[in-house]
A and B are shown apart, each in its own frame.
Chain A
Amino acid sequence: MKLIFIALNEFKLLLRDRPAVLMMIAVPIAVITVTGFALGGIYGKSEAFVRIYLPIVDLDEGFVSKSLVETLQKDRTLEVEVTEYRKAAKLVRDENKAAAALIIPENFTADIISRKPVSLRLLTDPAKGLEVMTAKALITASAVKLASGTGSGGTGLGSVEIKGENLTGIKGNISSFDENVPGFSIMFIMFGVLLGFSEGIFRERDEDHTLKRLLVAPVTKFSILGGKLFARTVIGLVQMSALFVFGYFAFSISLGNSMPGMFLTILGVAFSASCIGLLISSLSHSREQARSLGTLTILTMAAMGGCWWPLFIEPKWMRNLSHVVMPAWAMDCFFDLMLRGKAVADILPPMGGLYLYGVIALLLGFYLSNRVLLRQL
């Protein structure tokens, strides 16, 4: 019987902590919802189906090449745009809008009809490895189908070759680690730094009571919060650097050509994560609330920002929203540096986005800390 009373008391205690109960439901619902929407495309729901943008340059303009373009246009996985060479190359190399662009060479139709071996050129951005692989498979399937239809049959099937040309990459083979090391590092830095900051400050305020002693000393609030943010940023920097070094030696991930770029990006992630931690603390009333809100924020940001999977598998509306969260800016920086071999000067826009995110969180966090976090002493 006492066991029952103890259990009932546990239920009562849990129900008294309403924010915790709410978060018990809200956190998984948010993660399930974001994940469900993000992965909706690969389960074939028409409106959310994965769409790969594929510029095509038809230098042949014969009936076979036009048939190939039409076949590819009918594929609901592809979003085809027929364009000219310079624009196609720019979309892949400079704008990162397309993972690949298909170049149908001159005499393609004539060569197919005369059963000569033909090559299709695929300009690629290896930083979007999975997307390139998918596009290549779809083009191959269409080309094979077309070759069968035009009567080139068995001999023609093997003779359509797709030759990839990396326009941006610095590394031939990209492994899953090249995507996973930055993605999961960002997520775990957020866990360490963001939750570390927000839980730490509540521990100092409500359990150790040392924040009170700091506030009565001739120390500004800027110094108190700034000192804590600085420490968390350095911890995040060291932690993330260690993960990349491990990735380099254990899995041969690319670190790109710009060490200053990698340093600044890692610093930006650690800084922004710390500042988001301050903002989370300033929006919370207790350590438990900060923990729940922080976890919700981290998991949602990781899912939306491309830490768990490449963004191209998400529906377009989610991809458009991805840069609302910090990890998307960080992933852009890492891919540009590690897989496209860019320099710091080339990644100023995403780097600016990453730091701006931190600065906005910092200013909001400082402003709100006066109203909630530090006022409740």
Chain B
Amino acid sequence: MIEIRNLEKSYSNVEALRGLSLTLKQGEIFGLLGPNGAGKTTLISILAGLVMPTRGEGLIEKKSIFRQTGDVKKIIGLVPQELSLYASLTGKENLNFFGRMYGVKRKALRERVSSLLDLAGLNDKRDDLVRTYSGGMKRRLNLVCGLVHSPVYVLLDEPTVGVDPQSREHIFHNIRRLKEEGISILYTTHYIEEAEKLCDRVAIMDEGRIMAIGSTNDLLADHGCPDLETLFLKLTGKGLRD
């Protein structure tokens, strides 16, 4: 379980997170929705150990995210919003390299890489350079690179940006498979229908705060909205953010 309590983060004169608290339960897909600048990426960066918060506490399986970073990093997988791949390496070489970084042993890594290439539908392209991949193939590889060390918690930062419907469906299928394996997923997206489709619970964030949290059905009932998009706009407003 991931528990975050009163998390605050300030960058010079900008408050990115303002006392944010939430819990991610074992084996659930938790959707994080919010307009640009709401603080979603800051939260993901803090959970991944890239950024230290100004205040607050974060626990993963009762281990402090900020003090036991070595232990925590081993059980967290991050799939960044940007494609984070070595274009001059093959898909297999990328997976092997990142697996090594997580200390996955040679034999286990060989098996893991093979199964992840299958999962990404890239087994026939395993020895091609990533620079020759299409956008969708890169997105799928980007996703499985975050899973190479068999994490218990996966942070997915807008993993479907710029992909075709087929690749998106493929990614959704994989995310559901991860859930079936008991992996907890924190999923940020701008596509509200994705959150409705995939997530067990969602939180709507704005200006560094949680505006609403719960299952989609409960939230719609509580706020009297017909769909999540109407609720989203009701809570965050229609004004442009960037």
B-binding residues in A (CB < 8 A): 208-210, 212-219, 377
Q: How far is the CA of A220 from the CA of B37 in the complex (A)?
A: 29
Query: How far apart are B232's CB and chain A's nearest CB, in angstroms?
Result: 28
Check: B27 CB closer than 8 A to any chain A CB: no
**Contact indicator B50/A212 (Cβ below 8 Å):** yes
**Contact indicator B70/A209 (Cβ below 8 Å):** no
Q: How far is the CA of A208 from the CA of B97 in the complex (A)?
A: 15
Interface residues of B, CB < 8 Å — how many? Answer: 24
**Contact indicator B101/A214 (Cβ below 8 Å):** yes
B50: contacting residue among A215, A218, A219, CB under 8 A:
A215
Secondary structure dominating the interface of B: loop
In the complex, the chain A residue whose C-beta lies closest to that of B49 is A216
**Contact indicator B78/A213 (Cβ below 8 Å):** yes
Q: How far is the CA of A15 from the CA of B48 in the complex (A)?
A: 37
Q: How far is the CA of A219 from the CA of B101 in the complex (A)?
A: 7
Residues of A within 8 A of B120 (CB): none
Given contacts A208-B87, A209-B83, A209-B84, 7 further A-B contacts (CB under 8 A): A208-B86, A209-B82, A213-B98, A213-B101, A215-B49, A216-B76, A216-B78
> Can you identify 15 A-B contacts, CB atoms within 8 angstroms?
A208-B84, A208-B86, A209-B80, A210-B85, A210-B86, A212-B78, A212-B82, A214-B101, A215-B49, A216-B50, A217-B98, A217-B149, A218-B101, A219-B101, A377-B45
**Contact indicator B103/A213 (Cβ below 8 Å):** no
Residues of A within 8 A of B106 (CB): none
Residues of A within 8 A of B145 (CB): 213
Residues of B within 8 A of A209 (CB): 80, 82-84
Closest 9 CB pairs of A and B: A209-B84, A217-B101, A209-B82, A218-B73, A213-B84, A216-B48, A216-B78, A218-B70, A210-B84
Most buried by A among B50, B74, B145: B50
Q: How far is the CA of A217 from the CA of B84 in the complex (A)?
A: 13
In the complex, the chain B residue whose C-beta lies closest to that of A224 is B101
Residues of A within 8 A of B87 (CB): 208
Check: B102 CB closer than 8 A to any chain A CB: yes
Q: How far is the CA of A218 from the CA of B49 in the complex (A)?
A: 10
Most buried by B among A209, A210, A219: A210
In the complex, the chain A residue whose C-beta lies closest to that of B72 is A218
Interface string of B130-173 (1 = CB under 8 A from A): 00000000000000011001000000000000000000000000
Query: How far apart are A344's CB and chain B's nearest CB, in angstroms?
Result: 37
Residues of B within 8 A of A217 (CB): 73, 98, 101-102, 149
Query: How far apart are A347's CB and chain B's nearest CB, in angstroms?
Result: 40
Residues of A within 8 A of B74 (CB): 218
